[in-house]
Structure 1
Amino acid sequence: MSPPRPRPPPASLSGFLDAHFTCAEDLPAAPALSELLRRECEGLEASVRRLEAQLASSSASWLARSGEARSGLRRIRSRGEDMAAMDEGDADAPGVELPAIVREIQRIDTIRLYAEATLQLEALVGNLEDATFSIVRQASKLNLSSVLRRASTGMEQKQEKLLRAVDAVRDIERELVKISLSRPQWTKLIVAVDSRVDKTLAILRPQALTDYRALLAALGWPPSLSSPDMEKDKYSQVPNPLVLMNEANKEKYSESFLALCALQHVQANREVRQCKMPAATPSLSDSKYFDKTACFDNGLWAIDELVHPIVSRMEYHFSKWSEQPEFIFALVYKIAKDFMDGVDDILQPLIDQARLVGLSAKESWVTGMVKILLGYLETQIFPALVTSYHRSDDKLEVHSSWLHLNDQMIAFDKRMQLLADSGIQKIAFVSEGLSRSLSVFSIYSGHSDWLQIWADIEVNSAQDKLKSEMENETSWVYSINPQDELGDQESTTKFLLSTREDYKAPPVSEFVIKSASTMIDRSHALPNKGMKIQYTKSTSVQFLNDFFVVLHERCEALQLSNTALEDESLLRASYAINAARYCECVLREWDEDTTFLDMAPHRNENKEQIHKRSAQHRCSFFEDEIAFLVKLGTNFLEQIMSSILIEFEDLSWDYVQNIGSSNEQNQSDDQVLDEENLEVSPGFVASLDVLRERITKLKIYLNSKDFLDLWRSIAEGLDYFIYSSIRWGEVKFSGPGVIQLRVDTKALLRIFRPYCSRPEAFFPFVTESLKLLSMRETDVQYFLEALKDGKDNDNCMGRRGLHHVDASQAVKVLRSKKIGR
């Protein structure tokens, strides 16, 4: 009898043997494979025993809970029967505690739901762990040579298992979201599941990345950074292995890329869900995580793995250019640009297929290249600069190197941003988050001390340039427009001022504004608000404050409060005030810019609320600086006004004291004076000449708005001085005396007529006093009688056109008029 023929092995076993014994040379590996299979079988048997024990324990626990539930239901049923019997037997019997019964039923139902959810999650997590264990176990069976082998199915099987693991995570997330919405009090269950899933993903992700790297290496990635043409000084584009893939390899790569994107996508969903949990940590509940796409700010894993292998090859070149950072930036930009078309053509369709809406292969590629540069700058370039800054005696060279590096960083950021945005129609709310990750200036995020060093270097450099500028006195002088020297009313007067020329500010003020503006422009390169505020306050704000202090000191040094006011002092003070007003205007314009609206106080207000607030109550980024300039200009304008009034008072004191005195008036009582040809009182001429000269100079030197306010204030001060200096009620004005006072007053008003058609409106007390002195005797008597009554003084004064002099003052003026002459 012939022995039975052995049955052929199953197809899976045949495939397994074919995978490991492709030729006779593979036979010596049979003992090792046998030992591996034995260990795996032992592990599986141990796992089965553990699962059987766990199942027995779970079943016993469940049966115990089921028994308790049945006992509870029997008790409830018996209570219900007792209650029914009591209702039949006695209508007045006390009622059973129905709320307690309802609560007990709800508690039992909650226990049942909790148990069902636990068992379901246990099964889902088990599926994830099984898929992960299978992937890790299979990892040792694949080698580089078999990754791209046409007949090998190991890679495909691993991709399928990875996708099953991703599906398991999705199912778990779906259940956890459902529980977090319907049963938020089950926090411990969610945390326990998250802990197991996180541990599993901590194993799954590195393995998935390892398989992806193996595939890239099999495809010939990374490519050489130089092409044969470069040796002949022909800088052609570097060949891209992704573009050169055949269809079979392209299919394998696409599957691996999509699987890795799917894994990252479910991880992003987990982060979004976790940050919304009530027990989320502050760092996890950061607002940026509420946007799912923000989880991809630092790039796609699949694209980062394309970038990482290039690092070592690029750093070889970087090490030779530590003193020439422009070459480092140029190389990174060149590599990023050379592979950009291939990245966009091959990877963007895969990203779209993975349904990662709003994500760009170009941006992710550029982000990865920027991270290469950031790593090198953080470990090699900046530490050396910081050491030199603290130790070197030659600060100028270190400052120059640091500024040069930051200039290169700014230019590099702009070029890389244009490269990332090229040909992309960006979605605003998505692109804002992604663009932040593209900045090489994010290196300062974790090194605030480096940012402060940069700010100190910037402000010191600007101050050195300003110092040399201020030493030149011509920088403090504004070139006078010949039209301003005319000083007549027909000259163009502007009150809507905006430019330095409008304010008649000296060139040094424009130099300061441009320097501060340059530093502000540099702050735009920083990736977040906190860094922008720190840098701006340490550079442009500090620089401006230092200059404003210089303005204040220059005005203080002039000693404007002294009575001997000199033309040179008047000129310097005027130009300093003009400079302050021009800087104030620019700062107010900057405050209206959205950049500074965002950085201003009241962080909890949105832009719409900020705009709705009235201007006088709106918070300002430059609030303190503007307040300082306003006070500076106001204080020194008041000092100029005070000096002019004191000077006028000194020159005209004798004249004012003798106005209306009997000694002067007796000489002309019997004469009829010709008012048109009458000359100004001799004692008043010198004060009028000096006043006219001061006002004319101020018109030429001072900006039109401040000049308008100043001459009006001077006029009001003169009005009060002249009126209050006359000894009303003691002196007696004759007719010729009144005419002389009117002539002197017209001469005073003539000084201000080029700047106003009715200057008498700014001399109300003197004008109304003249009106009272010029009244006829009959009207004087009638008016005094009317004022004695005191019942309707206001109307009586108003009908006479007297709105500033009150009734008692009017009586004093009228009693200073000689009656009968």
Structure 2
Amino acid sequence: MLQPLSKRFRYHFYGNRQTNTPGKPEWYLTQVLMWIGNSTTFMEEKIQPILDRAHATINARVELCRGLLTLVREKVAGDASRLLYDDALFCHLVEEVLQFEKELRSIHSYPPPLPGLLHLLLDDAVLQKWLTVEKKMALEKVDGMLSAEGAWISQYKDIRDMDELKSPDCAETFMTLLQVITDRYRPLPCPSAQLKFLELQKELVDDFRIRLTQVMKEESRCPLSPRYCAILNAVNYISTILTDWGDNVFFLQLQQAAVSLGDEAAVGGLGMMEMGRLASMETSLFEGLLALLDRLRGDMMGRLLDGIMRDITEKAKAYCQDRWFSHPSQHDLSAMTLSSSACPMMLCVRDSLLNLHQVLSLSLFQLAWQGLAERLDNFLYQEVVLSNHFSDGGAAQLQFDMTRNLFPLFGHYCKRPENFFKHVKEACIILCLNVGSAILLRNLIKESSSAEDTRDWTGRDDPSPQSALNELGVYYLAPCDVLILFNLRASWPGQ
């Protein structure tokens, strides 16, 4: 039954026939798949019953496939060796072999334990050529991605629900490229060969990270520019995808294979402890890359926040130098309003938050506004609170500016924004404390500090300074900080 098919195959796909074209392996591969498909019904309905009656443990359809595959293997092996020096034709042959294998297994149900064509791609020369060409073509595509006109624009920027990561087009295209490479080597029956491709992918990610770093340095003079933020989104997107890959079943299987094989390239020459964490799945094969990406993301976020704080600091100069010690009492005012010197600073903070919310991915924006709140809290505490003296009216004005104007700017993004301004919030509580309570608290703290060396404070009936502060809502500032703030009050009895 195979003999006439074998003759036809050799007639058409060997020698000087026009159908024997190195650039068209799909012609003979498709022909074999057609023969398999056209013969299936005949083999199952006519031949298989004969074998069953003879009690032969043979599957007629599978035996036909095995016979035809013998022809194809010989042809592919010969073509592959001849095409090692032609990148385009070699790549085409690999693609067609992979497609043939996929159809053979899925459509024609060829049993997985039986060899198909993929083992031909594991020949040392063929595999090395495949890896070399894969890397060469990937790097060429990366060059094109980064130089494209819309490289730093999100392709989903007009589709709100799909734009949570706000990844630029170059990053999306790059990760799609890596996914395509994965899809190509995933069917290979040899884990050590798959690990070689995984190592190639890691090299490509590191190369892309270096390219992003180079572009970032060019843009770092203006960290608020759309391109700088797009690079930051790209780094975050790649890190997010690699983290997901670390939990993917396929890559977890590769991880176990790398550990069992002791593959130095894949595991990166890790020590015993790191190898143990890798074996126990506490970490992933992408851990090294993720650490580098996290470092780049942290560096870029720091530059971004530094740039914003420079603008805010410039706008806040007048506010820092306000005459806080001479502000009139709030009882003398019909209604409190925002300090005029604070307006430029507040507008700058508001505009910065709106801009960050618009250009950064959701997870990055969370980091950005929280980082900005922390820096702003430290700045206001150092440059406004600790650098001035406050009358009762000045303290009340500062508290109004903070609680009714600054904190609500961050209230759009969390329920209790004041919790991100611990220094300023608690300083306002101390500065606005009525004179009687302030005197009692100051005396309690002073007595506590002088009594620490002579007796156990917990044995006294008086509350401890820390519990007294907690009752006022002060948890972050230490008693010594509170004493400093008391010294900044401009009006004390006897002064």
Superposition TM-score tier, normalisation by shorter sequence: 0.7 to 0.9
> Aligned equivalents of 1:679 and 1:341: distance in 2?
86
1:75 alignment partner in structure 2:
none
1:748 alignment partner in structure 2:
406
Q: CA deviation at 1:699?
A: 0.8
Relative to structure 1, the CA distance from residue 336 to residue 616 in structure 2 (aligned partners, 3 Å threshold; closer, same or farther) is closer
CA-to-aligned-CA distance 1:595-648 (integer Å, 9 cap, x gap)? 21111146449xxxxxxx999953423333333333322221122122222332
Of the three residues 400, 420, 423, the one matched with 1:762 is 420
Q: CA deviation at 1:802?
A: 0.8
Of the three residues 482, 488, 494, the one matched with 1:810 is 482
> Aligned equivalents of 2:63 and 2:242: distance in 1?
38
The alignment status of 1:369 with 2:26, answered yes or no, reads: no
2:451 alignment partner in structure 1:
none
Q: CA deviation at 1:803?
A: 0.1
2:264 alignment partner in structure 1:
none
The alignment status of 1:444 with 2:103, answered yes or no, reads: no
1:433 alignment partner in structure 2:
113
1:512 alignment partner in structure 2:
174
Q: Is contact 2:151-2:168 (8 Å) kept? A: yes
2:270 alignment partner in structure 1:
none
Q: CA deviation at 1:798?
A: 1.2
> Aligned equivalents of 1:348 and 1:623: distance in 2?
56
> Aligned equivalents of 2:231 and 2:280: distance in 1?
26
> Aligned equivalents of 2:389 and 2:38: distance in 1?
100
SS in 2 for 1:421: coil
Letter in 2 for 1:515: L
Of the three residues 308, 332, 340, the one matched with 2:32 is 332
Q: CA deviation at 1:477?
A: 1.6
Letter in 1 for 2:290: I
Q: CA deviation at 1:672?
A: 4.8
Of the three residues 305, 313, 319, the one matched with 1:649 is 313
Relative to structure 1, the CA distance from residue 767 to residue 322 in structure 2 (aligned partners, 3 Å threshold; closer, same or farther) is same
Q: CA deviation at 1:458?
A: 2.9
> Aligned equivalents of 1:503 and 1:616: distance in 2?
31
The alignment status of 1:224 with 2:4, answered yes or no, reads: yes
Q: Is contact 2:336-2:400 (8 Å) kept? A: no
Relative to structure 1, the CA distance from residue 329 to residue 403 in structure 2 (aligned partners, 3 Å threshold; closer, same or farther) is same
> Aligned equivalents of 2:129 and 2:331: distance in 1?
83
Relative to structure 1, the CA distance from residue 375 to residue 692 in structure 2 (aligned partners, 3 Å threshold; closer, same or farther) is same
Relative to structure 1, the CA distance from residue 482 to residue 784 in structure 2 (aligned partners, 3 Å threshold; closer, same or farther) is farther
> Aligned equivalents of 2:70 and 2:334: distance in 1?
89
The alignment status of 1:678 with 2:310, answered yes or no, reads: no
> Aligned equivalents of 1:665 and 1:355: distance in 2?
104
SS in 2 for 1:433: coil
Letter in 2 for 1:314: F
Q: Identical aligned pairs, as a percentage? A: 19
For CA contacts below 8 A with separation 6 or more, give which structure has more relative contact order. 2
Q: CA deviation at 1:734?
A: 1.1
Q: Is contact 2:188-2:194 (8 Å) kept? A: yes
2:245 alignment partner in structure 1:
590
> Aligned equivalents of 1:675 and 1:769: distance in 2?
25
1:801 alignment partner in structure 2:
473
Letter in 1 for 2:139: Q
Q: CA deviation at 1:522?
A: 1.2
1:599 alignment partner in structure 2:
254
Letter in 1 for 2:90: W
> Aligned equivalents of 2:187 and 2:213: distance in 1?
33
Relative to structure 1, the CA distance from residue 346 to residue 724 in structure 2 (aligned partners, 3 Å threshold; closer, same or farther) is same
Relative to structure 1, the CA distance from residue 644 to residue 615 in structure 2 (aligned partners, 3 Å threshold; closer, same or farther) is farther
Relative to structure 1, the CA distance from residue 760 to residue 448 in structure 2 (aligned partners, 3 Å threshold; closer, same or farther) is same
Letter in 1 for 2:25: P
SS in 1 for 2:284: coil
Which moved further from structure 2: 361-370 or 572-581? 361-370
CA-to-aligned-CA distance 1:206-241 (integer Å, 9 cap, x gap)? xxxxxxxxxxxxxxx76434xxxxxxxxxxxxxxxx
The alignment status of 1:718 with 2:376, answered yes or no, reads: yes
Q: Is contact 2:167-2:237 (8 Å) kept? A: yes
Relative to structure 1, the CA distance from residue 482 to residue 686 in structure 2 (aligned partners, 3 Å threshold; closer, same or farther) is farther
2:87 alignment partner in structure 1:
399
Q: Is contact 1:462-1:515 (8 Å) kept? A: yes
> Aligned equivalents of 1:554 and 1:577: distance in 2?
11
Q: CA deviation at 1:586?
A: 2.4
TM-score computed with the length of structure 1 as normaliser: 0.51
SS in 1 for 2:379: helix
> Aligned equivalents of 1:688 and 1:771: distance in 2?
21
Q: CA deviation at 1:420?
A: 4.6
**Matches for 1:49-64 after TM superposition, within 5 Å:** none
Q: Name which one, 1 or 2, has greater alpha-carbon Rg.
A: 1
Relative to structure 1, the CA distance from residue 643 to residue 480 in structure 2 (aligned partners, 3 Å threshold; closer, same or farther) is farther
Q: Which runs of 5+ in 1 are unaligned?
A: 1-220, 226-309, 390-397, 423-430, 485-498, 606-612
CA-to-aligned-CA distance 1:448-477 (integer Å, 9 cap, x gap)? 231222233233334333433322332312
Letter in 1 for 2:125: D
1:135 alignment partner in structure 2:
none
2:292 alignment partner in structure 1:
628
Q: CA deviation at 1:771?
A: 0.8
Relative to structure 1, the CA distance from residue 709 to residue 432 in structure 2 (aligned partners, 3 Å threshold; closer, same or farther) is same
Letter in 2 for 1:406: V
TM-score computed with the length of structure 2 as normaliser: 0.81
> Aligned equivalents of 1:508 and 1:554: distance in 2?
13
Q: Is contact 1:348-1:360 (8 Å) kept? A: no
> Aligned equivalents of 1:350 and 1:809: distance in 2?
93
SS in 1 for 2:390: coil
1:735 alignment partner in structure 2:
392
Q: CA deviation at 1:727?
A: 6.8
> Aligned equivalents of 1:625 and 1:464: distance in 2?
22
Relative to structure 1, the CA distance from residue 334 to residue 749 in structure 2 (aligned partners, 3 Å threshold; closer, same or farther) is closer
Relative to structure 1, the CA distance from residue 348 to residue 679 in structure 2 (aligned partners, 3 Å threshold; closer, same or farther) is same
1:417 alignment partner in structure 2:
105
Q: Is contact 2:423-2:477 (8 Å) kept? A: yes
CA-to-aligned-CA distance 1:366-415 (integer Å, 9 cap, x gap)? 2332232222222x3122211xx2xxxxxxxx332122212221232233
Of the three residues 184, 197, 202, the one matched with 1:535 is 197
Number of residue pairs matched by the alignment: 456
Q: Is contact 1:326-1:408 (8 Å) kept? A: yes
Letter in 2 for 1:529: P
1:385 alignment partner in structure 2:
83
Q: Is contact 1:340-1:362 (8 Å) kept? A: yes
1:476 alignment partner in structure 2:
152
CA-to-aligned-CA distance 1:23-48 (integer Å, 9 cap, x gap)? xxxxxxxxxxxxxxxxxxxxxxxxxx
Letter in 2 for 1:385: L
Of the three residues 651, 661, 665, the one matched with 2:325 is 665
SS in 1 for 2:113: helix
> Aligned equivalents of 1:771 and 1:477: distance in 2?
46
> Aligned equivalents of 1:457 and 1:382: distance in 2?
14
Relative to structure 1, the CA distance from residue 419 to residue 763 in structure 2 (aligned partners, 3 Å threshold; closer, same or farther) is closer
CA-to-aligned-CA distance 1:500-548 (integer Å, 9 cap, x gap)? 622111222222222222221111332222222223433x444333333
Of the three residues 230, 233, 242, the one matched with 1:578 is 233
Letter in 1 for 2:75: Y
Relative to structure 1, the CA distance from residue 614 to residue 753 in structure 2 (aligned partners, 3 Å threshold; closer, same or farther) is farther
CA-to-aligned-CA distance 1:101-136 (integer Å, 9 cap, x gap)? xxxxxxxxxxxxxxxxxxxxxxxxxxxxxxxxxxxx
Q: Is contact 1:519-1:536 (8 Å) kept? A: no
> Aligned equivalents of 1:524 and 1:671: distance in 2?
72
Q: Is contact 2:230-2:359 (8 Å) kept? A: yes
CA-to-aligned-CA distance 1:9-66 (integer Å, 9 cap, x gap)? xxxxxxxxxxxxxxxxxxxxxxxxxxxxxxxxxxxxxxxxxxxxxxxxxxxxxxxxxx
Q: Which runs of 5+ in 2 are unaligned?
A: 262-276, 449-456, 458-463
> Aligned equivalents of 1:616 and 1:649: distance in 2?
49
The alignment status of 1:637 with 2:314, answered yes or no, reads: no
> Aligned equivalents of 1:483 and 1:759: distance in 2?
29
Q: Is contact 2:330-2:336 (8 Å) kept? A: no
Q: Is contact 1:504-1:578 (8 Å) kept? A: yes
CA-to-aligned-CA distance 1:250-295 (integer Å, 9 cap, x gap)? xxxxxxxxxxxxxxxxxxxxxxxxxxxxxxxxxxxxxxxxxxxxxx
